[in-house]
Amino acid sequence: MGEDTVTVLGADGHTLSPTARKKAEKLLAQGQARRVSQEPLVIQLTYTVALPRTPEALAAPGHGRRILLHICCGPCATYPIERLRAEEFQTTGFWYNPNVQPSQEHERRRQSVEQYARVTGLSMIWHPEYELMAFLRGVVHHEAPAERCLICYRMRLERTAEVAAREGFDAFTTTLLISPHQDQQAIRSMGETIGEAKRVGFYFENFRRGWSQGRQMARAHGLYRQQYCGCVFSEWERYQGMSPRRDEETH
């Protein structure tokens, strides 16, 4: 640094670009800086400087990144797809929902997702098998919602993470995060743990902010809106009055 330049510190103590001695003296005289040392002259600004953002900071979170989105149903996919694309993620959908029963219901929901993916130009990966038996074996003796739902989350998140890692995606996430009827914190914690184990990042966003918007989009596209979460236990609870009756989808 030359003899006529002065070291400048920001109000937070970080070093900023040096300035000319004449300008430094002016800042001191105006009370916009204080003298830290005389020789060499170092001043600290008394106000916060808004630094220009780096290209990395300006880039959207998903810029240049591929993400695999687990989709539980058509209506729940609407807003998350829009949000991920707005954040510049290269988004691919993934269908894997062994919890959905009976098989006709599973197929109806799958067709709804296929319909929406076709309209929106969303690339999809379809799990080739309907692993109902694996789900039933997993939740036997754990039928209470507090237990079976966690098992259900884990099954779907683990499979999504496995596919994401195998296919070279940068991250994965799930449309389950949009539902006010699901345990969002448990999903987030589980997703992050699974992602670390599978060596692929879990992307969390509070998609619930778009719940109402997503329902409007589902209506506009004529998507099938189911009346219970998915498994036979949730259907039984729904129609036995063990859970609040809802006029719209429960995801």
Query: In this structure, are residues 228 and 250 in contact, taking their beta carbons and an 8 Å threshold?
Result: yes
pLDDT at 49: 72
Q: Quick count: other Cβ atoms within 10 Å of Cβ 200?
A: 24
| Mean pLDDT of the residues in the chain | 89
**pLDDT of 75 strictly over 90:** yes
**pLDDT of 242 above 60:** no
Extents of the domains making up the chain: 5-45, 60-239
| 120 in Cβ contact with 217 (< 8 Å) | no
Q: Note the pLDDT of residue 55.
A: 59
Token look-up 């969303």 returns 122
Omega within 30 of 0 (cis) for the link into 52: no
Dist. CA 230–CA 104, nearest whole Å: 12
Using the predicted structure, report yes or no on whether residue 66 has a pLDDT greater than 90: yes
* pLDDT for 13 beyond 70: no
**Predicted pLDDT at 184:** 96
- Give 246's pLDDT tier (boundaries 50, 70, 90): very low
Q: If pLDDT is split at 50, 70 and 90, which confidence band does 244 have?
A: very low
What is the model's pLDDT at position 173? 98
pLDDT at 218 over 60: yes
pLDDT at 247: 40
Please say if the pLDDT value at position 77 is more than 50. Answer: yes
- The torsion defined by the Cα of 172, 173, 174 and 176, in degrees rounded to 10, comes to 150
The percentage of residues in the chain with a pLDDT greater than 90, rounded to a whole number, is: 66
**Region 202-216 average pLDDT:** 95
Q: What is the pLDDT of residue 122?
A: 97
Instruction: Please report, rounded to a whole number, the percentage of residues in the chain having pLDDT higher than 70.
Output: 90
The vertex-47 CA angle with 41 and 52, nearest 5°, equals 95
- The pLDDT score that the predictor gives to residue 68 is 98
SS3 189: helix
Q: Which of 9-18, 24-33, 82-91 has the lowest mean pLDDT?
A: 9-18
By CB neighbour count within 10 A (0-12 exposed, 13-18 middle, 19+ buried), where does 168 fall?
Answer: exposed
| Strand order across the 33-37 sheet | 19-20, 5-9, 42-45, 33-37
pLDDT over threshold 90, residue 119: yes
Question: Which CATH superfamily groups domain 60-239?
Answer: HUPs (3.40.50.620)
C-beta separation of 224 from 74 below 8 A: yes
The per-residue pLDDT for 230 is: 86
Minimum mean pLDDT range among 18-32, 53-67, 76-90, 103-117: 53-67
How large is the average pLDDT for residues 20-49? 87
β-bridge pairing 90-95 and 123-126: parallel
